[in-house]
């Protein structure tokens, strides 16, 4: 089961907003990084975010269907074939194709200007004055304008260069958009007050510190499952696929009913991963399989049905630690838990529900 603490999400939001000293535009794309976009949006509504950020029209429609009325910005380019759906859901689109924008703006759609200052992914190139003029001619003054840092978590000095490029674009616009935003989670965790209109946190809301963070957000998730089998193995016996782990003596192995199909990475044991059973840390042994994970419980009391925590607030089990041991990005670890885990939301949110992810 994947338990999501919505109270912790709210606390992280408050801390990020206090640090930024401007309103926030929380990113709930990827089903809130795998933790439940509707539930997260509902719990953040009382904090009056500027808008919610998603990656597709479908994600925006899901929030609208759940009763979210606040502005929703779609940050991935949307093709004209989806304009009707986007308009029906009253979504704000990030567009950098003048022809597409002309169609969207002609139907009364709201938009934001994405400026590419070095990511080379989407948006209008900061050097392309002609294209930016064409966009403003096609859509009028946008509701907002933004750029995206490419290395805030690994090269903080790069943010200065990107901001200088972005500021040049904003200064050249005939009318300044009402909402200018730049900072992502890595930037907010390093800096003090923003000099823009709002900030755009994502993964930090969900309890993960990225880059040279000055403080750590509160852990949000717990991933656990029961012990479904116990067995004693002999010296020299191997565990799991590839026989990558071999017993150096008589050992007791617990099989836990959770695997990589539930979002727990396959190669955890090779990175020295541990789990917690009955408040004691135990090593994960052998390759994680699709549906089951094995732990060495020789030195701790353990019975069938005992709950084993594989991810949680313990320093060795937090998302960043799990990602390091699995040689993956923490973003991959979080979003990878959408596959099969039963998701349970707890905390003082307006609507608390349990759903199957």
pLDDT at 208 over 80: yes
Instruction: For residue 265, count CB atoms less than 10 angstroms from its CB and return exposed for 0-12, middle for 13-18, buried for 19 or more.
Output: buried
Which option is the CATH number for 7-205: 3.10.20.30, 3.40.1130.10, 3.20.20.10, 3.40.1280.10?
Answer: 3.20.20.10
pLDDT of residue 306: 98
Whether residue 350 is predicted with pLDDT greater than 60 in this model: the reply is no
Banded pLDDT at 351 (limits 50, 70, 90): very low
Q: Please write the tens of the pLDDT for every residue from 266-324.
A: 999 888 999 999 999 999 999 999 999 999 999 999 999 999 999 999 989 999 999 99
Active-site positions read: 29, 241
Q: Is the pLDDT of residue 352 over 60?
A: no
Residue range(s) occupied by CATH 2.40.37.10 in the chain: 221-356
Residue 192, pLDDT above cutoff 90: no
What pLDDT score does 325 carry? 94
Q: What is the pLDDT of residues 49-59, one digit of tens each?
A: 999 999 999 99
Look-up: residue for tokens 């009364």?
A: 108
pLDDT tens per residue, range 150-187: 999 999 999 999 999 999 999 999 999 999 999 999 99
Across residues 2-23, what is the average pLDDT? Answer: 97
Q: What is the pLDDT of residues 114-160, one digit of tens each?
A: 999 999 999 999 999 999 999 999 999 999 999 999 999 999 999 99
Instruction: Outline which parts of the chain fall under CATH 3.20.20.10.
Output: 7-205
pLDDT in tens, 65-105: 999 999 999 999 999 999 999 999 999 999 999 999 999 99
Instruction: Give the residue-averaged pLDDT of 12-22.
Output: 97
Could you tell me the pLDDT band of residue 356, with boundaries at 50, 70 and 90? Answer: very low
**Angstrom distance (rounded) from CA 342 to CA 329:** 23
pLDDT of residue 65: 98
Phi-psi label, residue 269: left if phi above 0, alpha if psi -120 to 50, beta otherwise: alpha
Q: What is the pLDDT of residues 218-254, one digit of tens each?
A: 999 999 999 999 999 999 999 999 999 999 999 999 9
List CB contacts of 267: < 8 A, sequence separation 6 or more. 287, 288, 326, 327
Q: Following DSSP, what letter does each residue of 25-89 receive, concatenated?
A: --B-HHHHHTT-HHHHHHHHGGG--S-EEESSHHHHHHHHHTT--S-EEE-S---GGGHHHHHHT
Q: What is the pTM of this model?
A: 0.93
Which pLDDT score, from 0 to 100, does residue 59 have? 98
pLDDT top residue among 58 and 351 = 58
Instruction: Say if residue 353's pLDDT is above 80.
Output: no
For 127-194, the DSSP string reads: T-HHHHHHHHHHH-S-SEEE---SSTTT-THHHHHHHHHHHHHHHHSSS--SEEE---HHHHHH-SS-
pLDDT at residue 340 is higher than 80 = no
CATH of domain 221-356: 2.40.37.10
**Is pLDDT larger for residue 216 or for residue 299?**
299
Q: Can you point out the beta strands (E) in 257-330?
A: 274-277, 280-285, 293-296, 307-311
Q: Is the pLDDT of residue 348 over 90?
A: no
What single-letter DSSP state applies at residue 302?
A: -
Secondary structure percentages of the chain, helix, strand, coil, to 5: 35, 25, 45
How far, in Å, are 128, 150, 169 from residue 163 at the CA level? 16, 12, 10
């Amino acid at each position: 089961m994947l338990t999501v603490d919505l109270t912790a999400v709210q606390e992280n939001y408050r801390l990020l907003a206090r640090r930024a000293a401007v309103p926030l535009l929380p990113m709930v794309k990827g089903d809130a990084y795998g933790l439940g976009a509707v539930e997260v949006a509902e719990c953040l509504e009382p904090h009056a975010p500027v808008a919610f950020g998603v990656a597709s029209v479908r994600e925006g429609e899901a929030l609208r269907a759940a009763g979210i009325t606040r502005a929703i910005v779609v940050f991935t380019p949307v093709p004209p074939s989806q304009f009707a759906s986007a308009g029906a859901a009253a979504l704000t689109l990030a567009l950098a194709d003048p022809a597409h924008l002309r169609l969207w703006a002609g139907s009364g759609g709201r938009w934001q200007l994405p400026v590419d200052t070095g990511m080379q992914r989407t948006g209008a190139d900061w050097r392309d004055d002609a294209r930016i003029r064409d966009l403003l001619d096609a859509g009028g003054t946008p509701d907002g304008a933004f750029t995206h840092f490419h290395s805030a978590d690994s090269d903080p000095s790069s943010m200065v260069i990107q901001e200088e490029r972005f500021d040049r674009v904003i200064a050249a616009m005939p009318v300044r958009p009402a909402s200018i935003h730049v900072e992502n989670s890595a930037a907010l965790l390093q800096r003090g007050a923003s000099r823009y209109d709002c900030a755009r946190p994502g993964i930090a809301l969900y309890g993960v510190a990225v880059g040279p963070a000055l403080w750590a957000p509160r852990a949000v998730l717990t991933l656990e499952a029961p012990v479904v089998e116990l067995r004693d193995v002999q010296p020299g016996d191997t565990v799991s696929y590839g026989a990558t782990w071999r017993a150096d003596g008589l050992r007791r192995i617990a099989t836990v009913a959770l695997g990589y199909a539930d979002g727990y990475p396959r190669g955890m044991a090779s990175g020295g991963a541990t789990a917690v059973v009955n408040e004691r840390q135990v090593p994960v042994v052998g390759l994680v399989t699709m549906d089951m994970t094995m732990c060495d419980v020789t030195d701790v009391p353990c019975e069938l049905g005992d709950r084993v925590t594989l991810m949680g607030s313990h320093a060795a089990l937090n998302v960043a630690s799990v990602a390091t041991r699995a040689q993956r990005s923490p973003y991959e670890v979080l979003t990878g838990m959408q596959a099969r885990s039963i998701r349970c939301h707890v905390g003082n949110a307006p609507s608390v529900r349990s759903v199957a992810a």
